[in-house]
Structure formats: C-alpha cells, structure tokens
C-alpha cells in the first residue's frame, strides 16, 4: 500500500538519522519521483535541484540511457569479488587509466564513496613513501613519513582519515584524530588568509607548502599533500594562475605525493572531465566519487604508474567488500559514454560562459554580493555583511548557525521551487549538466529576487 506524503515524512523522521543536523529539526520532503533536473514531491510540487543531489547526479535524475545499461547489467552480473573479472569493472579501470592526466600503466582501486577513496589514497601515499625510505640506506631520520598536508578551506569526507585531513569545521566532530594532519592557507584571492594581493603576492599561499614541508621534516616525515583542484564545500574557490604548477614543483623537489581530490569537481562539472586539467599538471593520485557512479555509489583512486608499481611485490593493504562493484562500474561507463556521445563537456563550457555573464550582472545590482566565482556549471555567489571589510555572513565557528543564506534558501524553495543548500557560506549554483538555457534564466531571475533579502539586511 502506498504511503501518503505525511506518513512518508513522519516515518523517515522517526527512524532515519539525518546527516549533519539536529534530528528535532529534521523535516524531510516526501518525494514521488525524479526526472532530469527535477524532484517531484508527493504534494504536487516540481522542485529544481540546483545542487544536483550533492553533486552526485551530474547528468540528471533517471537518465534513461544510463538506467537502461543498469537494467541490462542487472540480468548478468551485479557483484562478484575481485578474485573474478567482469567486463564493466575491467573496462572502467582501463577507461579511467587512459583518460586521467599522465602516461603509463595507471591503476585503479574502486570504493563506494569519496571519503573511502580518500582513506585509500592516504594509505597508498604513506606506504609508497615508506617503501622509499626503507630502501634508502643513507637515511638517518625516523623512517615513517606519515604526515599529510591539506588546507584549511577543504573537505575530503567524514570518515576518520578523510575528516582528519579536512580543514572544514566538520572535522571538529572527529577530534582527536590519529592522522597527523597539517593545514596550509587556502588559495583565496577574494579573502586572502595571508593578507596579500595577487599577483604581487608571488603565490605566497603556494610557497607556504615548501615552508611547511621543511619545518615538518621534509620527505622523511611528510608523505603527501591532498588538495581539491577547486575547493568545493568551503566556497567553490578557484586558485590563482600558476598555483598548481608551483605546488607540483614543490612536491617534485621534496619527493612528496600530490593527491588531487576530484570527488566534487570531477566528471565534467567544470567543463573538463577532471578539474585539474584546467591547470595542466599531472597529480600522483586522483580521487573520484559522487557523480562517477551516477545512480550507484562508486568512487575511485587512480594511481600513476610509479605509485602503482610499488605494490607489484608488496601487499596492497586496503580493501572493501564491494570494491570494483560491477553494477556501479556499468553505471559509470554509461555515464562517461553519455558525456562523450553528447559533447557534455563542450556544452557545459558554453553554459558556464553564459551563466557567468548573468551572475556578474547580478553583482552589479546587489551590494550584498561580495564575489561571483566559478567555472563550467560550478558557481557560488559570496554573500557579505560589509562591503568595505568583506565580512562573511558567518565565521567558520558558526558553520551551523542560521544566516541570511538560510532565508534565501527558504525563499527559493517555497516561492520559486528551487532547492539550494542552506548551510553554506553563500548561494550555490550547481545544476545538473543537462540544464537548459531557459532553466538557467529562470534560476538567475529567481536568485535576483531572493537577493533583495540580503540587500535589505546589508
């Protein structure tokens, strides 16, 4: 028997634990079905998901060309352990090995979430460094390089290791941590934590990594640097020109593993398959997640050949029961094929240029906008309290405090049928990549109206 809308919401509220929230404030909206960019609720609403379901549904809900492939796979193999080989798992491994930046025989490990793949990448990088140190007879220092350097404005996941290398306030729920983690300043030219101006700063935020590596013991103590190519949850922050090239140079100089976390920015979100492609460097390890499996939880760690070769004669000491999940790999392959077939990357770039102009025009109208930033279909409007000081709407210690962004999110949902996250430091514009120009116009016009709320407060 079908449950009524109120019964569905009540039952889920009673028995389900919502992520990152107070349970007495949890009021889920009952959903009847999803299609394309929209969530259809049981009470008759049609809501545009401007967050693409936590950036997991880049190609829209219930994309038939992908779900058809999933149905076909259901009749063959859904899952076997990696003692066996299946066509989707083998083919996706090959596809990712070939399409990621770099050359040679890259290898892939599959998990079920971005956080799970971060955990694997951390272990891989530490063992890689450990094997180097122990083969060096001249080493006189403590021989286990296990420190990881990240940035304060970052989020890599909620599991122990992933949260430990995340600068996001959510890591505070995880402390104390067993992972030795260090945090560098973020590359944020709008609100530079080092109080510099680009380009006069000479990339001080990148140079700081070298200082940290040296002061933390160099290559004998530091295993890896882990970075989002474009900071996601903490503000959709793009680095300045030359930033990643300098970080790559520093890692090469000190023999430090460079891990790039594409969990949020990958799978076409920025107009490239991988956001790091915008910066023309080759990471040692790339992490994928979220939109990779589309409808089926799937993540990946792609290792350059020099990393992978360490495990030819050493045990790869990591694993998960559903690693290499056949159904997830089939879904991911269908997603990549769809992106290639319909030139989604090219279209995303065009839509991004169109959206940028409209959002920049908004900035001219609304004094509450501090900055508009993004690329492809990955954008954020930074809301400020003070024009001169660029004071943000909330501090890091106020992560879960209700702000003007919450009021804007309420307005967009209730008046315009557009969903955005209400707990961010600004307005997110992260639609499915299949969004139309007409839908982009409606979204921007709706945000234009909603920003009057922030303007009045400012």
pLDDT at 144: 76
Which residues have C-beta within 8 Å of that of residue 393, sequence separation ≥ 6?
383, 384, 385, 403, 404, 405, 425, 426
CA 95 to chain centre: 21
Confidence of residue 420 (pLDDT cuts 50, 70, 90): very high
Q: How far is CA 186 from the centre of its chain?
A: 16
Among residues 349, 346, 373, which one has the least CA distance to residue 360? 373
The confidence score (pLDDT) of residue 424 equals 81
Residue-wise pLDDT for 61-72, tens only, equals: 999 999 999 999
Residues 310 and 349 in one domain: no
Average pLDDT, integer, range 131-148: 67
Which segments of 273-340 are extended strands (E)? 285-288, 299-303
Task: Enter the DSSP assignment of 172.
Answer: G
Domain span including residue 241: 71-340
pLDDT in tens, 219-250: 999 999 999 999 999 999 999 999 999 999 99
Same domain, 229 and 83: yes
pLDDT value at 141 more than 50? no
Both 199 and 91 in one domain: the answer is: yes
Residue 142 clears pLDDT 50, i.e. is over it: no
pLDDT over 60 (residue 140): no
Lowest mean pLDDT among 91-100, 281-290, 378-387: 378-387
pLDDT of residue 137: 45
With a pLDDT cut of 70, the percent of the chain lying above it is 97
Closest alpha carbon to 151 in 208, 218, 215:
208
Whether 129 and 169 map to the same domain: the answer is yes
Terminal C-alpha separation, the chain: 51
Domain co-membership, 405 together with 301: no
Q: Which of 296, 317, 340 is at the close of a domain?
A: 340
Average pLDDT in the 411-437 region?
94
Q: Which of 240, 455, 268 is nearest to 352 (CA)?
A: 268
Q: Are 303 and 187 contained in the same domain?
A: yes
In CATH, what number is assigned to the domain containing residue 253?
3.40.640.10
201 and 229 inside one domain:
yes
* Stretch 282-295: mean pLDDT: 96
- Model confidence pLDDT, tens digit, residues 313-343: 889 999 999 999 999 999 999 999 999 999 9
Residue 13 belongs to domain with CATH number: 3.90.1150.10
pLDDT of 284 reads 98
190 and 80 together in one domain? yes
Contacts of 187 (CB under 8 A, 6+ apart): 151, 205, 206, 237, 239, 240, 243
Instruction: Give the mean model confidence (pLDDT) for residues 251-270.
Output: 98
Q: How confident is the model at residue 457 (pLDDT cuts 50, 70, 90)?
A: confident
CA nearest 110: which of 323, 394, 359?
A: 323
User: What local confidence, expressed as pLDDT, does residue 136 receive?
Assistant: 57
Query: What is the tens place of the pLDDT at every residue in 156-208?
Result: 999 999 999 999 999 988 887 777 899 999 999 999 999 999 999 999 999 99
Overall domain count for the chain: 2
Domain match, 447 and 298 both: no
Which of 1-5, 316-320, 332-336, 407-411 is predicted with the least confidence, judged by mean pLDDT?
A: 1-5
**Can you name the residues that pair with 182 across neighbouring β-strands?**
149
Confidence class for position 143, pLDDT limits 50, 70, 90 = low
Residues 304, 442, single domain; the answer is no
pTM more than 0.85: yes
**Per-residue model confidence (pLDDT) at position 179:** 78
User: How confident is the model at residue 2, as a pLDDT?
Assistant: 59
Cβ contacts of 209-213, under 8 Å, gap ≥ 24: 209/149, 209/184, 209/247, 209/250, 210/250, 210/253, 210/254, 212/149, 212/182, 212/184, 213/149, 213/250, 213/254, 213/256
Considering 288, 306, 340, which residue would you say is the last residue of a domain? Answer: 340
Of residues 425 and 314, the one with the higher pLDDT is: 314
pLDDT of residue 396: 85
Across the range 2-10, mean pLDDT stands at 80
User: Tell me, what's the pLDDT at 273?
Assistant: 98
Closest by CA position to 99, among listed 267, 228, 311: 267
Residue 98, pLDDT score: 96
Residue 177, pLDDT score? 76
Q: What is the 3-state secondary structure (H, E, C) of 180-234?
A: CEEEECCCCCCCCCCCCCCCCCCCHHHHHHHHHHHHCCHHHCEEEEEECCCECCC
Which of 279, 313, 340 is at the close of a domain?
Answer: 340
Same domain, 47 and 137: no
116 with 251, same domain?
yes
If you average pLDDT over residues 28-39, what whole number do you get?
Answer: 96
Q: Which of 330, 316, 298, 308 is nearest to 111 (CA)?
A: 298
């Amino acid at each position: 028997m079908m449950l009524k809308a109120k019964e569905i919401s009540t039952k889920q509220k009673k028995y389900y634990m919502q992520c990152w929230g107070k349970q007495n404030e949890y009021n889920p909206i009952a959903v009847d079905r999803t299609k394309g960019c929209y969530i259809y609720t049981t009470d008759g609403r049609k809501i545009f998901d401007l967050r693409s379901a936590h950036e997991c549904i880049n190609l829209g809900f219930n994309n038939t060309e992908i779900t058809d492939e999933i149905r076909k796979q259901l009749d063959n193999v859904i899952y076997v352990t990696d003692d066996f080989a299946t066509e989707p798992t083998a083919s996706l491994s090959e596809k990712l090995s070939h399409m990621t930046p770099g050359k040679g025989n890259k290898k892939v490990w599959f998990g079920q979430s971005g956080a799970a793949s971060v955990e694997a990448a951390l272990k891989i990088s530490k063992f890689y460094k450990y094997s180097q140190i122990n083969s060096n007879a001249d080493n006189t220092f403590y021989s286990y390089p296990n420190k990881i350097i990240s940035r304060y404005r970052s989020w890599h996941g909620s599991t122990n290791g992933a949260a430990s290398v995340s600068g996001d306030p959510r890591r505070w729920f995880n402390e104390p941590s067993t992972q030795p983690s260090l945090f560098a300043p973020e590359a944020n030219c709008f609100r530079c934590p080092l109080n510099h101006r680009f380009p006069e700063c000479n990339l001080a935020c990148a140079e700081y990594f070298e200082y940290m590596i040296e002061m933390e013991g160099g290559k004998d103590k530091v295993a890896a640097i882990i970075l989002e190519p474009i900071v996601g949850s903490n503000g959709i922050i793009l680095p300045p020109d030359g930033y990643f090239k300098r970080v790559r140079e520093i890692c090469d100089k000190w023999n430090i593993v460079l891990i790039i976390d594409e969990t949020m920015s990958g799978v076409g979100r920025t107009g490239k398959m991988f956001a790091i492609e915008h910066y023309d460097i080759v990471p040692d390890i790339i992490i994928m997640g979220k939109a990779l499996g589309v409808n089926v939880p799937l993540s990946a760690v792609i290792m350059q050949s020099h990393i992978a070769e360490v495990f030819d004669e050493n045990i790869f000491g990591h694993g998960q029961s559903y690693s290499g999940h056949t159904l997830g790999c089939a879904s991911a392959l269908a997603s990549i094929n769809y992106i290639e077939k319909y030139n989604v990357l090219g279209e995303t770039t065009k839509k991004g240029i169109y959206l940028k102009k409209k959002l920049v025009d908004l900035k001219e109208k609304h004094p509450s906008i501090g900055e508009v930033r993004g690329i492809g279909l990955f954008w954020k409007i930074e809301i400020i309290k003070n024009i001169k000081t660029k004071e943000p709407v909330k501090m890091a210690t106020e992560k879960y405090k209700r702000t003007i962004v919450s009021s804007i999110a309420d307005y967009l949902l209730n008046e315009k049928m557009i969903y955005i996250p209400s707990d961010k430091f600004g307005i997110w514009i992260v639609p499915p990549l299949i969004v139309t120009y007409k839908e982009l116009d409606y979204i921007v016009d709706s945000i234009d109206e909603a920003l009057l709320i922030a303007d009045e407060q400012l």
